[in-house]
Every structure is written in C-alpha cells, then in structure tokens.
Structure 1
C-alpha cells in the first residue's frame, strides 16, 4: 500500500492498494475511490470490541475496503481543518490516540479502547478516561486538529499540556494531571485548574487547534434563541 497526504489544512489521504489489500475506516470517512474497491461493513471483532469502539468515540461498526481484481485507489478525508499523520504500528509500538482521532488504517491494525489507569488523569486531565489504542501491524492514519507538533521524550522526561492539545502518544508514555498553582493563576490565568502531564519514554503528538477550544472561541458569537 502506498499513500499520499494532500490538501492541508483541509487534508485527505489518497491510498493505492494492490489486489486483495484492504483498509478499514469509520463510517463516513471515505471520500472517493476507484470502481474496483469493494466495501464491507463489519463489526471487526466480538461484542466487546464493538462496544469498546463506541465508548472510545467511534462508530460500533467499521467499513472494510478491498481492492478486487487489480490495483485500487481510495481516499479518506479529515473531518476538521488540520493535519493527517501516518504511523507505522507494530506489536512493540502501539499508539494511544484521542477520541475520534482514528481516520483509517491497513486491515492488519486493530482499533480498541484504552482506559486511563490514573483516576485523576481521566477525570481532570481533559482527555477523558477513554481513548483509542492502535495495535497490531501496519500503517494507520490519524486526524490532528490544526498543526501537528511532535516530541520524542526520553525516559522520565515530561511535557505539560493544556486540555485538548494532546493528540496521540506512544503506549510507553504515561499520563497524569498537575494542579495549576497559585490562586491568582487559577482565577485569572484563564488556563483552568488542571494540566495534563505526559512522561516518556516515547513520542508525543500535540495539536495546535483542538476542536473544543475552537468551539469555546466561537460560542459567544452564536446568537441564542432567547435574544432578539
């Protein structure tokens, strides 16, 4: 499988598959394809995996696209302005992704639910208890809200991230919360009560325009039903 990411900041990934190669994606991500691409809607696992995907922000079923009779082409578009990144998933290098961050992957990659082990990180860290885990073997594409910034953390090295700006991290990284210090900082700093702390070793992928921040910025300008 070969691919080409085009169109940023409104990106899509165009994939060229050899005969009988397959890709999986969530419902509604496919934007165009060659006529020989066969679609099959599948649960891609047992009932546990179905509900796990639902809790992680994805649809319960996945679409599998297979090139039949020769080379096929298929494209998947991001749902929000930003970036699309490709990751090579291996059994020793799974990836943890924000909810609804998965775009598409080779069929040998498994999408499952990832629960935050630390109660505080899940409750106050802004990323939620439930994220997505990509494991198995193959290429996977994820959506990034805005521009993508990547850091490679050494063992024990940490980075402090504001709510919503964490897009993905290596499964070897850990996530915790840090309280914003100082009453004035909390009340008037505008950054909230908690930050997320990601500690290596592993890669961390940050995003510059999380959708929740965009929604908060435009909300004051949306007329409400009670105003004339």
Structure 2
C-alpha cells in the first residue's frame, strides 16, 4: 500500500502522512512532529522486518528462535551505533480510522518521497532518512565507509529495500542527476550526496594535501576536500547546502571566526 503523504512548506518542509487503519510508518528519533490521537506510538530497538513492520515471532519457535531474534536485534543496534545513528525507531500505527502523522528533517531544506517497487534499492546519506512504511527494510551499508570511519568523515550509507514509500530530507535545494548523462561518472563534494539508486558505484577520495594549495586551504579554514565518485546509470539526488558550510556560515554570523584574511597569520598592526 503506497503511503499517502504530502510535502508542505518552503524553506523548512515537512511531510504530513495519512495512515489507513492498521497501516504503520516508522522514523528515527528526532524526526517526529505531531500525530492524531488515534495513532499509537511505540519505540523499538529492532528495525522493520519487511512484513508489515511486525517482528517475526520466534523464527522457528522455542528458545533457539528467540535467541536468533535477540542476536539479530543486537546486530542491528550495533551497526547503527557504529554508524552514529539513533539506536531506536519510533513506530506509528493508525487505530480505528484514518490517522495523521507529521515528520520533518533537522535542517532547512527540501524533502522527497521515494517509491520502492522491489526492483532497486535506494542508498541514502546517514542523516537523510526521515520516515518510511513498515514494508520497507532499513539497513546500514558501509560502502565507502572504510575511508570515512578511519578519517572521521562518517561516510556511512543507509540502505532501503522492499516495497513502499521512503521519505528523505536534505539541506538547501535538491539537484537530480544521472552520471550516465555526463559520460558515466561524476565527482561531487561528499557533503552534497543525499541519496542514489542501486546500480550506482560509490567511492570516496581525499584531495588537497600538504602542497601549496593544501596549506592555503588550512590557513583559510579548510583542510582539504573529500570527493564522492558516482558511476553508472541511475538517479542521484544531491543537496545544494552542506552541513559544514551551514555551520561555518552560522559561526561567522555569531562572530566566531576571527582568523580570516585580516587576522591570524596575516594580521597587520599599525604603529
């Protein structure tokens, strides 16, 4: 059943979801805004099973089935902990009539509803996920994560499979591209990557070492650039604003950046 939803707002959008009786949607902690009273809310450590969001009871029965279920939950929690994700999901189910739930991202920007038909998975940057139907499976994909985990960059992807609707959010405006339209390969700032379809090959490389340009980058507040290489034929969604650029802009607006071209190493004093 396709999730009935409407994206509303401009600079800071939100998704208003209409749930049919018995229909369930889940989100990560911090993305929920409001709900009607006929919608129940439950917090679980385990992710959806792809079978209506209900955990498979026993998985074979007896103590063995319970142990496998507990081990599976522990592995999911461990993966999310390593990825810096919220450890729990919040589930919302409509009881006795149509219910309404509101969700939003954490930064000013756009939202998008992706429809999964079971043929292709979607990968999303770890902060992009907002909510999804319980028929959509959630997983952690560490593609490109080796560089990120060792370098502290956090290049961890979330993987969505199955059938149904996934709602994502990004900062600024969305830009839709297909590497096949640009010779099969594009390179973008890793902070601009929001989501892409299965079939796109993803890699990360660091540029800007201790050469002349690298020294200038360090002096003026930069420490090199991480580029994501996206290859193949499929949809890619980028965002026009990165968290790093937003944080730097807020820092300057608050007067926190005192080491610009007229300060620090290049400051001059009259006298």
TM-score by length of 2: 0.73
Q: Secondary structure at the match of 1:82?
A: coil
**Higher strand content, 1 or 2:** 1
- Write out the 4+ residue segments of structure 1 that deviate beyond 4 Å after TM superposition: 117-124, 178-191
Q: Which residue of 1 aligns with 2:98?
A: 71
1:96-116 deviation per Cα after TM superposition (whole angstroms, max 9, x unaligned):
111121100001112211102
2:178 to 109, 130, 152: 152
52-61 or 39-48: bigger deviation: 52-61
Unaligned ranges ≥5, structure 1: none
Aligned residues: 223
For the 8 Å contact 1:127–1:166, the answer to whether it is kept is no
Q: Which residue of 2 aligns with 1:133?
A: 159
Within the alignment, does 1:43 sit opposite 2:45 as a pair? yes
Bigger radius of gyration: 2
* CA RMSD, 1 decimal: 2.6
**Higher helix content, 1 or 2:** 2
For the 8 Å contact 1:36–1:68, the answer to whether it is kept is yes
In 2 relative to 1, CA 193–103 (structure 1 residues): closer, same or farther, beyond 3 Å?
closer
1:113-170 deviation per Cα after TM superposition (whole angstroms, max 9, x unaligned):
110257457656x963422111221100011111000112329611110230111111
TM-score by length of 1: 0.86
In 2 relative to 1, CA 166–93 (structure 1 residues): closer, same or farther, beyond 3 Å?
same
Q: Secondary structure at the match of 2:249?
A: helix
Q: Secondary structure at the match of 1:87?
A: strand
Q: Which residue of 2 aligns with 1:198?
A: 230
Shift of 1:81: 0.3
Within the alignment, does 1:209 sit opposite 2:211 as a pair? no
Q: Which residue of 2 aligns with 1:161?
A: 188
Shift of 1:92: 2.3
Q: Secondary structure at the match of 2:246?
A: helix
